[in-house]
């Protein structure tokens, strides 16, 4: 199964890997020796800090083609970092020292609580 975020103007949301500079879809892919269940578990956190930082910076600076692109980036960050609260960290945190680094670190520290 493959999914991609494609805007109405045909642009594709992709990330550049920090290890080899290759472009790929956010969220990664299944490894050859990985089952679907293992891939689903691993996909909860497939975006590295280095991959997330430029996306968060774009949201903070408003360097977007429009609201739809912002929504696509937030969705990719939620999936890639495994943190459903990232939009709140970006848009609702009133800390005057808010930075992309602090937002991404907070999202990476997120752990769901099972009740």
Q: What does the pLDDT look like over 36-49, one tens digit per residue?
A: 666 665 555 578 89
DSSP secondary structure string for all residues of 2-61 = ----B-TTS-B--EE-TTT--EE-TT----TT--HHHHHHHGGG---HHHHHHHHHHHHH
Q: Average pLDDT in the 64-89 region?
A: 91
Residue 5 lies in a domain: no
115 in a domain, yes or no? no
Domain range for 84: 15-109
Query: Is 98 within a domain?
Result: yes
- Domain assignment present for residue 74? The answer is yes
Please report the pLDDT score of residue 107 as a whole number: 94
Residue 80 lies in a domain: yes
CB 74 within 8 A of CB 86: yes
Number of domains in the chain: 1
Q: Tell me, yes or no, whether 56 lies in a domain.
A: yes
User: Is the whole-model pTM more than 0.85?
Assistant: no
How far apart, in whole angstroms, are the C-alpha atoms of residue 72 and residue 95?
A: 24
Q: Which CATH number belongs to the domain containing residue 97 in this structure? A: 1.10.1200
Determine, yes or no, domain membership for 3.
no
């Amino acid at each position: 199964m493959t999914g991609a975020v494609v805007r109405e103007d045909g642009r594709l949301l992709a990330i550049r890997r920090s290890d080899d500079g290759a472009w790929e879809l956010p969220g990664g892919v299944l490894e050859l020796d990985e089952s679907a269940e293992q891939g689903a578990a691993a996909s909860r956190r497939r975006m590295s800090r280095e991959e997330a930082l430029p996306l968060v910076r774009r949201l903070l600076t408003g360097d977007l083609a429009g609201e739809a692109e912002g929504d696509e980036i937030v969705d990719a960050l939620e999936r890639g970092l495994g943190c459903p609260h990232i939009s709140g960290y970006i848009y609702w945190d009133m800390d005057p020292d808010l930075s992309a680094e602090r937002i991404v670190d907070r999202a990476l520290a997120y752990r769901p609580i099972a009740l």
